[in-house]
Amino acid sequence: MSAELEAMLLGAVDDARSAIAEFSGADTVGDYLGAEVEDPSSATHRFLAELPGYRGWQWAVVVAACPGATHATISEVVLVPGPSALLAPEWVPWEERVRAGDLGPGDLLAPPADDPRLVPGFMGTGDPQIDEVAVEVGFGRRQVLSLWGRADAAQRWHDGEFGPGSAMARSTRRTCRDCGFFVPLGGALGVMFGVCANEYAADGHVVDAEYGCGAHSDTPAPKGAGSPQFDPFDDGVLDLVERTEERS
């Protein structure tokens, strides 16, 4: 691009502003933000947009000219987001929006197709203790927890609120493994997890065997608990007299 052509493109500021005013109104054009060359025959001028609801957006006006031209022409006028523009959040598919705790009374939430957490019931869970009992009793669930699903749940519980890394567990040296309120789960998961039966602790929640809290069954009672004992004060042994004014 020749210096003369570049100067023509970058100097078309007034033409670019007039194009925006014609397109959207003069009151929608703000401060001039600068220009940049796009290719050997075009450049883009930017202006701050003064539009309600478009804070941080910019007008971009593309001007073009070919070698030998006497003036630049307007190619297009567009509204584009600037660095501080308020934008809509990135689209998230519906099936990826649901989070733990979103399910409410009356809601229906079907597992996704080919859910890796589940396998057909005839394949078994991979946990011999559960599979043998299911066959003996005659359970015929269409789907059961897969090996991957069990491992995924175990990792989630281990890393969660009732795992050994939680603030509660780190604040005590005692663990659920040797607590009288710890009820181990059946099957392979019982090696690492159980349910807390202490109503003052994690009652009814699945807890990691290495989790712990201050309500452990072996927690000793604090020494010197309660108010100190004193003899009662009997004000009946005192003589009450009226105060007399002292004479000066």
Give residue 237's pLDDT band: very low, low, confident or very high (50, 70, 90): low
CA-based nearest residue to 203, from 218, 221, 184, 181: 181
Over the stretch 129-172, which tens digit does the pLDDT of each residue have? 666 555 544 456 778 788 899 999 999 999 999 999 999 999 99
How many angstroms separate the CA atoms of 61 and 79, rounded? Answer: 9
* Residue 84, pLDDT score: 87
Do residues 210 and 169 make contact, with C-beta atoms less than 8 angstroms apart?
yes
Q: Residue 110: CB partners within 8 Å, gap ≥ 6? A: none
How many angstroms separate the CA atoms of 182 and 196, rounded? Answer: 5
Over the stretch 197-236, which tens digit does the pLDDT of each residue have? 999 999 999 999 999 999 999 988 777 656 666 666 666 6
What is the residue extent of each domain of the chain?
Answer: 3-81, 149-208
How many angstroms separate the CA atoms of 103 and 236, rounded? Answer: 67
Give the pTM.
0.51
> How would you list the strands of the sheet with 182-184, edge to edge?
182-184, 193-196, 206-208
- Residue 171 DSSP label: T
Question: 61 forms bridges with which residues in the sheet?
Answer: 45, 77
Do residues 179 and 218 make contact, with C-beta atoms less than 8 angstroms apart?
yes
Q: What is the CATH number of domain 3-81?
A: 3.10.450
For residue 195 the two structure tokens come to 């349910």
Listed range (60-69, 89-98, 106-115, 134-143) with the worst mean pLDDT: 134-143
Average pLDDT over every residue of 26-32: 93
CA-based nearest residue to 34, from 20, 21, 48, 18: 48
